[in-house]
Chain A
Amino acid sequence: MKMAEVLTPLWLSLKLASVTTLILLLACVPLGWALARWRSPWRVFAEAILTLPLVLPPTVLGFYLLLLLGPKGPLAPLHLVFSFWGLVAGSVVFSLPFVLRPVQGAFEAIPQSLLDSAASLGAGPWARFAALAIPLARRGMASAAVLGFAHTLGEFGVVLMIGGDIAGRTRVASIAVFDAVERLDFATAHLMSAILVGTAFLILLFFSWLNRPGAQS
């Protein structure tokens, strides 16, 4: 067993999950806030579209992303397909609802009376968002980050379809486990799977700790 075969995909998965989570947090905090405040009949349509990746088979998502990013697709000039940043693009779409929903839920849980009081004391929209809503929704945001990270770490279908299986570039841990099993290298498959199981357990432990009863909201 070569340690590089174990460590490189794990590092790539970690990098992919971290970058994806970072991008999703930056996108979903303002988006979640906007959705939570939006009073319109169109809101349900927007929510349904943004939640689609939650229920779509990863292969469907991967197929459309491949067409979109591929050499004949409208986003071909970005050269994202079969690259790390292509995986990031796919993961952001695939994990979007896992981050957006908890963030939106956390913002919706803030009592309107608090926001009204802040407004009556002279706080503008930005001040209410930055100084009141974000601190109050911090646990929801942390939970969203944990869920987004964990979900990206376990991706298989989307990354295989738009990333292929290129060593050091798009071969993430889940694909490397599949590879190892296919070539009957069960020692490598066991080691990588054990690391992934341990990581997943720690992530879920952290998630439960964040949402423990009686934790400060």
Chain B
Amino acid sequence: MKVCLALLLAGAAILGGCGRKDAAVQPLRLAAASSFRPVAEQIGALVQHECGVPLQFSSGSSGSLAVQVLHGAPYDVLIAAGEDVPERLARARRVHASASIGQSPLVLYAPAGIARHWDVLALARPRVAPYGAAAKQALVHMAGRPGWPGPARRVYGQSAAQAFSLAASGAAQAALAPLSLVRAAGADPAQWRAIPADWYKQVPTRALLLNARPAARCLMDVLQGRALDPVLHQAGYQRP
């Protein structure tokens, strides 16, 4: 009985502390496609300086983040890869404004070095991740081409980042992933190879304003501003 009483008291104490954080400054909530994660990780200080509000971000596939937004997730800005998500959210009247950020090209990444054949190749799930759809298109062109790997067993990640981590951890021997993730991992140039741009539909990255509060508009300005150029360039993004 004492155990139960102790638990009840601990729970009551925690309940008492639950409301305190709400009174603090509301942070900016950025939902970022996993390909944009390396950039989102680096802009916290810049956003804090420009907008005076701390930045918190979540990442995942653009498709799954869009589902969260449609179900009421309280994000201020969504960075989406591909064209489907911006269109779907605009149709649902969830977008106040949008801006092009640029695009990160699709690359073939192999930690052990580019080879002619692998047993297991990772890619993001095409139905929820635009880079997965791009990878699927690229594989069609790759098949049978001299100098490109032959058929391999495909494994799927829920996002581009998960597909990339499957290869980086050694579970798969190679992955088709955005350059931003490859650069963020500090990969050697011998470990990746760019996919020809005409082998897949390009994956544009867009910032979608979901909340019209001033701090969120400020975040949109930061994302479009020149101050972000070095970070985007370092991450392998090509500005529009």
Contact = CB atoms under 8 A, between A and B. Distances in A.
Bound together: yes
Interface stretch (B12-20, B79-87, B202-210): B12-20
A71 B72 contact: yes
Given A167-B57, A183-B165, A184-B165, 15 more contacts: A15-B14, A15-B18, A19-B14, A19-B18, A22-B7, A70-B72, A81-B73, A82-B71, A82-B72, A138-B1, A164-B58, A168-B27, A182-B34, A182-B161, A184-B168
B15 A19 contact: yes
22 contacts: A15-B14, A18-B7, A18-B11, A19-B15, A21-B11, A22-B11, A82-B72, A84-B18, A138-B1, A145-B3, A146-B3, A149-B7, A164-B73, A166-B58, A167-B58, A168-B56, A179-B59, A181-B169, A182-B159, A183-B41, A184-B165, A184-B168
Nearest to A23: B11
Contact of A18 (B10, B21, B185): B10
Contacts of A70: 71-72
A134 interface: yes
Sorting the interface of chain A by its residue count into under 10, 10 to 19, 20 to 34 or 35 or more gives 35 or more
A184 B68 CA distance: 24
A94 to B, nearest CB: 17
Contacts of A93: none
A172 interface: no
A10 interface: no
User: What are the 8 closest A-B residue pairs judged by CB atoms, nearest first?
Assistant: A22-B11, A167-B56, A138-B1, A142-B3, A70-B71, A165-B58, A82-B73, A18-B11
A142 B4 contact: yes
Given A18-B11, A19-B15, A167-B58, A184 B3 contact: no
A134 B5 CA distance: 12
A147 interface: no
Contacts of B34: 182
Nearest to A181: B165
A84 B20 CA distance: 13
How big is chain B's contact interface, by range?
A: 35 or more
Contacts of B4: 25, 138, 141-142, 145
A66 B71 contact: yes
B37 interface: yes
Contacts of A138: 1, 3-4
A203 B27 CA distance: 35
A87 to B, nearest CB: 12
Interface string B174-211: 00000000000100000000000000000000000000
A22 B7 CA distance: 7
A142 B3 CA distance: 6
A25 B7 contact: yes
Contacts of B68: 82, 164
Contacts of A84: 18
B125 interface: no
A135 B161 CA distance: 53
A210 B56 CA distance: 41
B132 to A, nearest CB: 15
B185 A21 contact: no
B167 to A, nearest CB: 10
A171 interface: yes
B60 interface: yes
B209 to A, nearest CB: 18
Contacts of A82: 68, 71-74
Contact of B7 (A135, A145, A165, A168): A145
B169 A184 contact: yes
Interface in A45-95: 66, 70-71, 76, 79, 81-82, 84
**Most chain A beta carbons < 10 A, residue from B58, B165, B185:** B58
A108 to B, nearest CB: 18
